Amino acid sequence: MKHEFREQAVPVRSASKAGNRVGPSLGKRMRRWVVLGLLPLVLAGCGANQVRPVDRSPTPLMDPLPLDAGLYLDSELRQYVYKEKRWNIDWQVALGEAAVAHANRMAKATFRTVREVKALNAPGEPALALVLAPRVEEFAFVTPRDAGGSLYQVTLRFRMNVHDSQGCLVDSLVYTGYGATGSGSGLGSEGPLTAATELALRDAGAKFLTEFPLQPVVQQVLRGEAPVPVPQSVPLPTPESPKETP
C-alpha cells in the first residue's frame, strides 16, 4: 500500500520578527525527528528472512519392525542452516532442529526400540540390527517472484546412511519431500515458506516410512542374515554443504 505524506502550511502568529523565525526552525526539527523515528523500521526491513520450521508430521500408525536400531545425529545435521541471497534478500532456513525431530520420529515409528548413539562405532553399545545416520542432502525453494505465480514451493532431500552394529556402511538411501503453499495475504514471506517446508518434511517422512522397510538390507536383517558392508571402492555421493548464492 502506498502512503503519501503531504506537508500543510499552518500559519503561526508571532509578535516579532524573531518569532517568525521560530516556526520554520521548529518544522525542520520535527521533520528530522520523524525521519529518525522511521529509520529503524526501514533498517528492520533490510534484515535476513529467517525461517525456522517445525516437524509437525502426525504420529505414524504402523507396526514397527521387530528390530532394535541405533540413531546417529551428528553436529552437521543438528546445526544445519541453509543460506542463500536471492533478489537482494538474505534467506536463512534453520533446518537442524526440525531435521532431528524428523529423524527421531521416523526411526521410532520404524523399529521396535531406538537408541541414540554418540558414534558409529562406539564401544560398549548393545547389539543393534542397524544404525541410521541421516543427513540433509538438498534444500531448494521457489518463491512467487521466481515463478511468477502465487506459491512458495520447497524440495527437501534427505540421505539416510545405514550402518551395521560395528559402524560399517551397508546402504545409503535417498528420499525426497515436496511442499507448496500459497502466498496468503502477501504481508510476509517467512510464514508461507515455513509452511511449505513443514509440508515437505511431512511428505519426505511418508515416503521413508513406506519405502524403507522394503529395502533389501532391511529384508536381509529380518531374515537373520548379517548385512554386507559396501565396498570401499564404491564411491557414494556426499551431500553439498549449505552455501550462499551471490
The three-state DSSP-derived secondary structure of 70-93 is EECCCHHHHCCEEEEEECCEEEEE
pLDDT tens digits along 193-229: 999 999 999 999 999 999 999 999 999 999 999 999 9
- Determine the pLDDT at residue 87: 83
Please report, for residues 38, 90, 196, 242, the alpha-carbon distance to residue 47 in angstroms, rounded to integers and kept in the order given: 15, 7, 21, 19
- 54-75 mean pLDDT: 91
Burial of 27 (0-12, 13-18, 19+ CB in 10 A): middle
59-68, 76-85, 124-133, 200-209: segment of lowest average pLDDT: 124-133
For residue 199, count other CB atoms closer than 10 A to its CB.
22
Write down the pLDDT at residue 39.
40
Output the CA angle 181-157-59, nearest 5 degrees. 70
* Average pLDDT over every residue of 50-60: 88
Let me know the angle formed at the C-alpha of 188 by 183 and 190, rounded to the nearest 5 degrees: 90
Sequence-distant (≥ 6) Cβ neighbours of residue 204 within 8 angstroms: 102, 156, 157, 158, 175, 176, 177
Residue type, 147: A
pLDDT digit string, tens, across residues 2-14 = 444 344 444 444 4
d(CA 157, CA 168): 23
Question: Which pLDDT score is estimated for 122?
Answer: 67
DSSP 8-state class, residue 182: E
What pLDDT is stored for residue 199 in this prediction?
A: 96
pLDDT of 50 above 80: yes
Please report which helix (H) or strand (E) contains residue 7, including its range.
Answer: none
* Reported confidence tier of residue 31, pLDDT bands at 50, 70, 90: low
pTM of the model: 0.73
Per-residue pLDDT, 177? 96
